[in-house]
């Protein structure tokens, strides 16, 4: 059994109050006694019982995270980083995997009295997001929604795909590229490109719909070779890597004759030949902001936009 405050008090001959003060580095404790207590605590490996602390305090160290079963790189990275940063900062993260159509109410319910903040990482549908909003009010928790389609009551951290894509396209223009090909089918990518093109009249763009896996990119090789373009933007790094793996055989010289840019900043991209230029998600910034929010309960519910960022490597 772990040592308790009470035992520490008995062992030191001091009152529980003084021991508590000493451990929390309060002023108003004779430094001799403080040292004595701290030494004793170290000796017995004293660790406060957070369940007991949680009972008293309104500030709770537990944070609920609603994740989904998604296993794609960018998503997992967000989850891991958030998880890591929060626990480094001393919070306890309660992760729940919420499969589509799963019961949100039972999740909130199970967190009553434990959790003050719920981070929604799982991409919820319109209806479910609304439900989450209602539940957050019913159960008195603050919602922190990440990258959702609609804003919900609470904090909304939204990811702006446009910025990174615009940077990427400006980079291509500055390299003298003029005939762009966009491979993929993801709505926010296409939208970002269209918006960026408005300010880049020197760039014209063709579209080639396709899936977003490695194999899809590899298959696209010949279609790309057949087109008269000098730059390709892929919806995902995975596709781009698939394409790079066949580009050599097809006689496409990257980046001399053809610039290639992906999206997601997957680790494999940095090791590919040539190193893949890409657009990165604001993973660290999101975790940092969640941390700021949970630390400073006073802030108002609001919306914050996080920009994606172009990472220029060798392939462009």
User: HSE on the CB side for 63, CA within 13 Å?
Assistant: 27
Can you tell me which of 10, 39, 43, 52 binds DNA, judged by CB under 7 A? Answer: 52
User: HSE on the CB side for 1, CA within 13 Å?
Assistant: 4
Site for DNA in 93-132 (CB under 7 A): 113
Can you tell me which of 11, 38, 48, 131 binds DNA, judged by CB under 7 A? Answer: 48
For residues 307 and 164, the answer to whether their CB atoms sit within 8 Å is yes
Can you tell me which of 17, 43, 227, 304 binds DNA, judged by CB under 7 A? Answer: 17
Instruction: Say which entry of DNA, a copy of itself, none residue 248 contacts (CB below 5 to 8 A, set by partner kind).
Output: none
Instruction: Say which entry of DNA, a copy of itself, none residue 18 contacts (CB below 5 to 8 A, set by partner kind).
Output: DNA
At residue 199, what are phi and psi to the nearest 5 degrees? -100, 5
Cis omega before residue 304 (within 30°)?
Answer: no
For residues 227 and 204, the answer to whether their CB atoms sit within 8 Å is no
At residue 174, what are phi and psi to the nearest 5 degrees? -65, -20
Interaction between residue 100 and a copy of itself (CB under 8 A): no
For residues 28 and 300, which CB has a smaller minimum distance to DNA in the complex?
Answer: 28
For residues 187 and 268, which CB has a smaller minimum distance to a copy of itself in the complex?
Answer: 268
Only segment of 49-57, 115-123, 124-132, 187-195 that touches DNA (CB under 7 A): 49-57
For residues 23 and 276, which CB has a smaller minimum distance to DNA in the complex?
Answer: 23
Among 164, 106, 316, residue whose Cα is nearest residue 230:
316
Among 113, 75, 114, 78, residue whose Cα is nearest residue 94:
114
Instruction: Say which entry of a copy of itself, DNA, none residue 83 contacts (CB below 5 to 8 A, set by partner kind).
Output: a copy of itself
Q: How far is Cα 311 from Cα 164, in angstroms, rounded to an integer? A: 9
For residues 214 and 230, the answer to whether their CB atoms sit within 8 Å is no
For residues 56 and 198, which CB has a smaller minimum distance to DNA in the complex?
Answer: 56
Compute how many other C-beta atoms are within 10 angstroms of the C-beta atom of residue 301.
14
| Helix, strand, coil abundance in the chain, percent, nearest 5 | 45, 20, 40
Site for a copy of itself in 217-276 (CB under 8 A): 218-219, 241-242, 245-246, 268
Least separation, in Å, of the C-beta of 197 and a copy of itself?
31
Compute how many other C-beta atoms are within 10 angstroms of the C-beta atom of residue 88.
10
Can you tell me which of 24, 25, 42, 71 binds a copy of itself, judged by CB under 8 A? Answer: 71
Instruction: Say which entry of DNA, a copy of itself, none residue 307 contacts (CB below 5 to 8 A, set by partner kind).
Output: none
What DSSP string runs through 199-229?
T-TT-EEEEE----SHHHHHHTHHHHHHS--
Tokens of 228: 């008269």
Can you tell me which of 39, 112, 223, 305 binds a copy of itself, judged by CB under 8 A? Answer: 112
Residues that bind a copy of itself (CB under 8 A): 1-2, 45, 47, 49-52, 54-55, 69, 71, 73, 76-77, 80, 83-84, 87, 90, 92-97, 99, 109-110, 112-114, 138-140, 213-215, 218-219, 241-242, 245-246, 268
Residues that bind DNA (CB under 7 A): 1, 4-6, 14-18, 20-21, 23-24, 27-30, 33, 47-49, 52-53, 55-57, 113
């Amino acid at each position: 059994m772990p040592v308790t405050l009470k035992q520490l008090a008995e062992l030191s001959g001091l009152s529980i109050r003084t021991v508590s003060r000493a451990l929390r580095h309060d002023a108003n404790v004779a430094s001799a006694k403080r040292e004595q207590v701290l030494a004793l605590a170290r000796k017995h490996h004293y660790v406060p019982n957070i369940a007991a602390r949680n009972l008293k305090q309104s500030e709770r160290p537990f944070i609920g995270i609603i994740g989904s079963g998604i296993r794609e790189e960018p998503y997992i990275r967000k989850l891991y980083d958030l998880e890591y940063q929060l626990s480094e900062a001393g919070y306890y993260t309660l992760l729940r995997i919420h499969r589509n159509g799963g019961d949100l109410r039972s999740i909130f319910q199970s967190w009553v009295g434990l959790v003050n903040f719920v981070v929604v990482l799982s991409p919820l549908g319109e209806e479910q997001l609304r439900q989450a909003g209602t539940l957050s009010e019913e159960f008195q928790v603050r919602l922190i929604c990440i990258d959702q389609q609609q804003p919900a009551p609470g904090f909304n951290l939204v990811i702006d795909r446009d910025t990174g894509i615009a940077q990427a396209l400006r980079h291509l223009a500055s390299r003298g590229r003029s005939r762009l090909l966009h491979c993929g089918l993801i709505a926010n990518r296409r939208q970002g490109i269209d918006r960026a093109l408005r300010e880049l009249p020197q760039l014209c763009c063709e579209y080639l719909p396709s899936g977003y896996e490695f194999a899809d990119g590899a298959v696209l090789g010949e279609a790309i070779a057949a087109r008269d373009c000098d730059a390709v933007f892929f919806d995902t790094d995975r596709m781009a890597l698939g394409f790079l793996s066949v580009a050599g055989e097809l006689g496409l010289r990257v980046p001399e004759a053809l610039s290639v840019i992906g999206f997601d900043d997957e680790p494999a991209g940095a090791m590919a030949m040539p190193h893949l230029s890409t657009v990165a998600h604001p993973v660290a910034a999101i975790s940092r902001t969640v941390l700021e929010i949970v630390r400073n309960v006073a802030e108002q519910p609001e919306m914050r936009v996080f920009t994606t960022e172009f990472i220029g490597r060798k392939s462009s």
